[in-house]
Amino acid sequence: MYRYLKSAFVALPSAALAMSLFGTAQAKVEGDTIVLGAALSFTGKYKTNGKHTKNGYELAVKRVNEMGGVKVGGKNYELKVVYYDDESTPARGAQLVERLIKQDGIQFMLGPYSSGLTKAMAPVTEKYKIPMVEGNGASRSLFNKGYKYLFAVLSTSEQYLAEAINLAAEQAKAAGKDPGTLKLALAVENDPFSQDIRAGVLDDAKKHGMKVVIDDKLPKELNDMTVTLTKVKALKPDVLVVSGHSKGAATAVRQMMEQKVEVPMFAITHCEAADVVGKFGPGADYTLCATQWAETMTYEDDYFGSASDYAKLFEKEYGYVPPYQAAESTASVLVWVDALQRASSFDTAKLRDALSATDMRTFYGNVKFDETGKNIAKPMVLRQIQGGQYKVVAPTKWASDKLVHPRPKWSER
């Protein structure tokens, strides 16, 4: 009896150990399936964008599997993603990534929605040396911490509205004016993401020698911009840049219209998320909107064809036009597929090197990472709302339409 017990005591832990090793090996590649992991916001304040992110991932998985899957070491594998709900809270997100890695044995991570959650998860994936490809964390602070396992397909936040400054300078030159004479007004929310945007705008404004006449940092709780706009009326800047997530976008467009504020160029972020066209109709016209991607652009790849093919497929599948949050999520999966095939291995160290050597074209734009892991091959896009339609007007290389500049006066509309 004692002997049996003794052998049981020896056998049990070793079996457990074997199972855990085996289990881990099983989980990252289950038979013919490569398992990726993601913690996304299905509840809480980011749930809308959490859904876009998931739909983006799922569409990529579906399409890749339909086209024969991922070829690693001469064998074809299917893709699958394991999801958890991070409830839009960073602490929960960090826990769940740990769980994905330690309990579920996930070795290939996809990013969450938002910079805040990515910031919470990146230290964990870094600790376990698990590569994470993300498409929804744009904050500059993600890329100055020396992370080795974080790769982002999207343009980082300081690029969001910098293009508007260059566009204003271009317009000034075309009109025979010195860009240095332009006056710039900024109203940017006081959170890390929006302040990155502000830093990018200020850098470019400095380059052109523009004068900053208003530099308001909008508190998070604030949903009224009348004061800033009163200042705009008083100081008459040439460019007004506003960024404050959806709330800032909707508030700015609405109050510009209500107060009839005249400014030659007005550029904001989050137009689509705030649905400024649907809410304010013609009042939103001539607003410049920064976007990561637009379905009218001419990028292409083998999986989805052109950007507009992707948009059509997405709409057929989910019943709505894909916002850029979905497109960049799909692109993240494509980057994984490309890296897995090039590395032809499931070794995370080899995969990390393969990821960092990525140089590919996708329907979302070109992807090539610098040493900090951010994508340097894709510019931000500016679209102008014209007659209720979003038209790409900058950068000039990808523009489909001409910029209307300066904005027509309210009385002439």
Partner 1 sequence: MGNLEILIQAPIFSVQLLIDGLLVGSIFALAAYGMALLWGVMNIINISQGDYVILGGYVTLTLYNAGIHPLFGVPVAAVVLFFVGWAIYRVVIFRVVDRDLFISILATFGISILLQQLMDQIFGADIQSAESGLGTLFLFDDRVTVGQIKLVALAVVIVVSVSLVLFFKRSRMGQAIRATAQNARAARLMGINTDRVYAMTFAMNAAICGAAGALVVMTWVIQPFIGLAYTIRSFMIVVVAGLGNIAGVVAAALGLGAAEQFAAFLLGAEFQIGFVFGLLVVILLVRNMNLKRQRRVLK
Instruction: Spell out the alpha helix ranges (H) of 67-103.
Output: 90-102
Q: Is 282 in the site for partner 1 (CB under 8 A)?
A: no
Among the residue ranges 133-141, 169-177, 223-231, 380-388, the one whose residues contact partner 1 (CB under 8 A): 223-231
Q: How many residues touch partner 1 (CB under 8 A)? A: 39
Q: How far is the C-alpha of 401 from the C-alpha of 291, rounded, in Å?
A: 15
Q: How far is CA 51 from CA 2, 57, 98, 317, in A?
A: 57, 10, 22, 13
Among the residue ranges 37-45, 60-68, 177-185, 354-362, the one whose residues contact partner 1 (CB under 8 A): 37-45
Q: Is 400 in the site for partner 1 (CB under 8 A)?
A: no
Pattern of binders to partner 1 over 173-212, x per CB under 8 A?
Answer: --------------x--x----------------------
Closer Cβ to partner 1, 32 or 215, answer by number: 215
Residues 6+ apart with CB under 8 A from 354: 339, 340, 342, 343
Q: Is 284 in the site for partner 1 (CB under 8 A)?
A: no
The residue from 99, 148, 183, 254 that contacts partner 1 (CB under 8 A) is 254
Q: How far is the C-alpha of 189 from the C-alpha of 173, rounded, in Å?
A: 30
The residue from 47, 183, 312, 350 that contacts partner 1 (CB under 8 A) is 47
Using an 8 Å Cβ cutoff, are 357 and 139 in contact? no
Partners of residue 186 on adjacent β-strands: 215, 241
Q: Is 347 in the site for partner 1 (CB under 8 A)?
A: no
The residue from 231, 342, 350, 368 that contacts partner 1 (CB under 8 A) is 231
Q: Is 89 in the site for partner 1 (CB under 8 A)?
A: no
Using an 8 Å Cβ cutoff, are 100 and 40 in contact? no
Q: Is 230 in the site for partner 1 (CB under 8 A)?
A: yes
H/E stretch holding 312: helix 307-318
Helix 47-66 × helix 324-343 angle, to 10°: 40
The count of C-alpha atoms lying within 13 angstroms of the C-alpha of 269, restricted to the half-sphere facing its C-beta, is 25
Count of residues in the chain: 413
Closer Cβ to partner 1, 255 or 356, answer by number: 255
Q: Is 221 in the site for partner 1 (CB under 8 A)?
A: yes
Q: Is 216 in the site for partner 1 (CB under 8 A)?
A: yes
Shortest distance, position 113 Cβ to partner 1, whole Å: 11
Q: Is 217 in the site for partner 1 (CB under 8 A)?
A: yes
Whether a cis peptide bond, with omega within 30° of 0, leads into 406 is: yes
Can you spell out the DSSP letters for 115-149? HHHHHHHHHHHHHTT--EEESS---GGGGSS--SS
Nearest to 250 by CA among 275, 283, 286: 275
Shortest distance, position 274 Cβ to partner 1, whole Å: 6
Interface contacts to partner 1, rule CB under 8 A: 43-48, 187, 190, 215-219, 221-228, 230-231, 233-235, 246-247, 250-251, 254, 258-260, 273-275, 279-280
